[in-house]
């Protein structure tokens, strides 16, 4: 693209390969962007809340996913439009930072842009709208700080954390089992949490699943589950109080790194080669035995002869264990990862209270459960489900709940859900807008109306009359100055979210407001779109 001037000094733009490009500029460009973002937001709107619907997505290679997790839906939708991709990125940002609220943030951004469109029709400049939104966002986040309450919890008193995780799980496929599932997630987070530093390393929580059984069979393993079995079928299937050796060297004869050729022309030479190999294997197994190891876990494979010798020496072994699992096992058992057999000594062994091989129904699938480890720094949530799609959705649901528990360990401030926080912020923004002179006043009012899109969607998805439900709650919040009143999605007969135990984390809500406002500002600032034409 280059700038040129005609003979009268008037500027005009020359585009390279102009006939192959289409161009939209000015207010049309802003409206086209808003239209794309609104379409994406509308897709997710029906997935919001405890009564939200699921989406079924099929990938190009035929894999089917059923989910109501906003980030997953948008990721698998393969959105082509560039503005649509911004909404996908918005949802991903919320997922990476907070882990929950991925649907709500897109619905909010869509509503903000929808209200911005009517302001543009009034002739308002896009940047003035963006500035008004920034002011309103600041007022809303300050209001969240005013209405938040703090949850005090400890390793003994986990009830506050469980209640908040139950809110997250109520809109998921595991809704009917939200209590036991929430307890599993909280216990897993607290097992690996460093409460002094208020930090949780989620890499130490492994979520492993196996198709079959029922959701109720999901359990927390205070140790590690690995998708492997003992290397020899005749090895014992259960071990108690064992010393564990973790190796990253293979039970195989050494291989020269250069190309080599061995000429064997007599029986004696062949026998000598076999004898050398056997000695090599016997030496390896003996070193493991001498160190006092009662279970060998190896990152690489075994030669058949080595496997046979291990079996005869009554030394159970597991092979082809992945690098991540090796590290988690080392943390849990207290073992050192040994790269060479020569370095294997008794002080580098770990300890496990029990090692069991689990079978599943009539399938040949086996898994190893390693429990009773001295350092409970790594835990596994073992999930069961009727089919692969349900299993994947349970894993996504538990990930959201784990993230919520992690956020509460970091910052234990909460606000009340069911749209209560949004209505309270909308009222605060409305009040602040009256004190603002200038055109930003209109933008702030639009922000206030957009915040109410979340409770409206909640009411609509729950089968309630949306406008009547919202106005009734809003009226009560104003009259009673009670920021805990929200939409009664579960039809329990009360709008007080404290009684319904519907909580959300403050950092999650703030992040939603910040991200939605930023994306709206970015979209409103686009006034010229040059892209390859659809028709060549």
Q: What secondary structure does DSSP assign to 389-404, as a single string?
A: HHHHHHHHHHHHHHHH
* DSSP category for residue 505: E
Q: Which residues pair with 24 in a beta bridge?
A: 529
Strand pairing of 295-298 and 238-247?
parallel
For residues 21, 26, 28 and 33, what is the CA-based torsion angle, rounded to 10 degrees? 80
- Please give the pLDDT value at position 362: 65
For the chain, the straight-line distance linking the first and the last C-alpha, in angstroms and rounded, comes to 19
Token pair for residue 242? 């064992």
Contact, 410 vs 391, CB < 8 A? no
Q: Which residues pair with 352 in a beta bridge?
A: 242
Tell me the pLDDT tens digit for each residue of 298-323. Answer: 888 877 777 888 888 888 888 888 88
Based on C-alpha coordinates, what's the Rg of the chain? 30
Task: Select which of 43, 102, 164, 168 is catalytic.
Answer: 102
pTM given for the model: 0.81
- Please give the pLDDT value at position 536: 46
Task: Select which of 67, 103, 380, 505 is catalytic.
Answer: 103
Q: Is 365 a catalytic residue?
A: no
Q: Is 102 a catalytic residue?
A: yes
Q: Is 69 a catalytic residue?
A: yes
- Specify the 3-state DSSP secondary structure of 436: coil
Tell me the pLDDT tens digit for each residue of 431-481. Answer: 998 888 888 889 999 999 999 988 898 888 888 888 998 898 889 888 888
Task: Select which of 100, 400, 449, 488 is catalytic.
Answer: 400
- Please give the pLDDT value at position 375: 73
- Please give the pLDDT value at position 20: 63
Task: Select which of 43, 67, 69, 218 is catalytic.
Answer: 69
Contact, 304 vs 274, CB < 8 A? no
C-alpha 428/C-alpha 173 separation (Å) is 35
- The length of the chain, given as a count of residues: 536
Q: Is 400 a catalytic residue?
A: yes
Instruction: Give the count of alpha carbons within 13 A of 188, CB side only.
Output: 32
Q: Quick one: residue 233, left, alpha or beta (phi over 0 = left, psi -120 to 50 = alpha)?
A: alpha
Q: Quick one: residue 411, left, alpha or beta (phi over 0 = left, psi -120 to 50 = alpha)?
A: beta
CA separation, residue 168 to residues 112, 180, 333, 401 (Å): 24, 13, 33, 6
For residues 481, 487, 491 and 492, what is the CA-based torsion angle, rounded to 10 degrees? -30
Token pair for residue 341? 């057999």
Q: Which residues pair with 240 in a beta bridge?
A: 354
C-alpha 116/C-alpha 516 separation (Å) is 13
Per-residue pLDDT of the chain (536 residues; tens, 9 = 90+): 677 777 777 887 776 666 566 677 778 888 888 888 888 888 888 888 888 888 888 888 888 888 888 888 888 888 877 888 888 888 888 888 887 888 889 999 999 999 998 888 888 888 899 999 999 999 999 998 888 888 777 777 788 788 888 888 887 878 788 888 888 888 888 888 887 788 888 888 888 888 887 888 888 888 888 888 888 888 888 888 888 898 888 877 777 767 777 778 888 888 887 887 788 878 888 888 888 888 888 888 877 777 888 888 888 888 888 888 888 888 888 888 888 888 888 888 888 888 888 877 667 778 888 888 877 677 888 888 888 888 888 888 888 888 888 888 888 888 888 888 889 999 999 999 888 888 888 999 999 999 998 889 888 888 888 899 889 888 988 888 888 888 888 777 788 887 888 888 888 889 989 999 999 998 888 887 777 765 44
Element housing 53 (H / E): none
- Count the Cβ atoms, other than its own, within 10 Å of residue 163: 17
> What residues contact 370, with CB distance under 8 A and at least 6 apart?
223, 224, 225, 226, 329, 332, 333, 352, 354, 355
* DSSP category for residue 343: G
Token pair for residue 8? 């009268």
């Amino acid at each position: 693209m280059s700038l040129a001037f005609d003979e009268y000094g008037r500027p005009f733009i020359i585009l390279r390969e102009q006939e192959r490009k289409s161009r939209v500029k000015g207010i049309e460009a802003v409206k086209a962007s808003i239209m794309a973002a609104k379409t994406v937001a509308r897709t997710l709107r029906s997935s919001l809340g405890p009564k939200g619907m699921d989406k079924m997505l099929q990938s190009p290679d035929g894999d089917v996913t059923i989910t109501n997790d906003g980030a997953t839906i948008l990721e698998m939708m393969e959105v082509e439009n560039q503005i649509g991709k911004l909404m996908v990125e918005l949802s991903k940002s919320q997922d990476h930072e907070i882990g929950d609220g991925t649907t709500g943030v897109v619905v909010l951004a869509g509503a903000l842009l929808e209200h911005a469109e009517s302001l543009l029709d009034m002739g308002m400049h896009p940047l003035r709208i963006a500035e008004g939104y920034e002011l309103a966002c600041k007022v809303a986040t300050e209001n969240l700080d005013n209405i938040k309450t703090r949850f005090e919890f400890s390793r003994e008193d986990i009830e506050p954390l469980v209640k908040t995780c139950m809110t997250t799980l109520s809109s998921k496929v595991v809704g009917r089992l939200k209590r036991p599932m929430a307890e599993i997630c909280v216990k897993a987070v607290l097992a690996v949490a460093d409460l002094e530093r208020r930090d949780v390393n989620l890499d130490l929580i492994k979520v492993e699943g196996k198709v079959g059984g029922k959701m109720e069979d999901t359990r927390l393993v205070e140790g590690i589950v690995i998708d492997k079995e003992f290397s020899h079928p005749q090895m014992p299937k259960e071990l108690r109080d064992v010393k564990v050796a973790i190796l990253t060297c293979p039970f195989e004869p050494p291989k020269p790194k250069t190309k080599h050729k061995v000429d064997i022309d007599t029986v004696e030479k062949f026998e000598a080669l076999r004898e050398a190999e056997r000695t090599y294997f016997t030496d390896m197994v003996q070193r493991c035995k001498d160190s006092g190891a009662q279970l060998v876990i190896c990152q690489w494979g075994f030669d058949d002869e080595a496997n046979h010798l291990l079996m005869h020496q009554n030394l159970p072994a597991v092979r082809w264990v992945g690098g991540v699992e090796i590290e988690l096992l080392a943390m849990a058992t207290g073992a050192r990862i040994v790269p060479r057999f020569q370095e294997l000594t008794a002080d580098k062994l770990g300890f496990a209270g029990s090692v069991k091989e689990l079978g599943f129904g009539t399938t040949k699938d086996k898994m190893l459960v390693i429990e009773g480890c001295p350092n409970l720094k790594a835990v596994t949530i073992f999930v069961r489900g009727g089919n692969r799609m349900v299993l994947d959705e349970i894993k996504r649901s538990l990930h959201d709940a784990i993230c919520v528990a992690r956020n509460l360990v970091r910052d234990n401030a909460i606000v009340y859900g069911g749209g209560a926080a949004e209505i309270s912020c909308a009222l605060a923004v409305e009040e602040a807008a009256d004190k603002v002179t200038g055109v930003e006043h209109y933008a702030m009012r639009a922000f206030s109306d957009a915040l109410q899109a979340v409770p409206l969607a909640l009411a609509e998805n729950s089968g309630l009359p949306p406008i009547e439900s919202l106005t009734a709650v809003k009226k009560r919040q104003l009259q009673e100055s009670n920021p805990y009143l929200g939409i009664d999605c579960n039809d329990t007969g009360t709008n007080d979210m404290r009684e319904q135990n519907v909580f959300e984390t403050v950092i999650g809500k703030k992040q939603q407001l910040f991200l939605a406002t930023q994306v709206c500002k970015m979209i409103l600032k686009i006034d010229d779109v040059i892209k390859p034409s659809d028709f060549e």
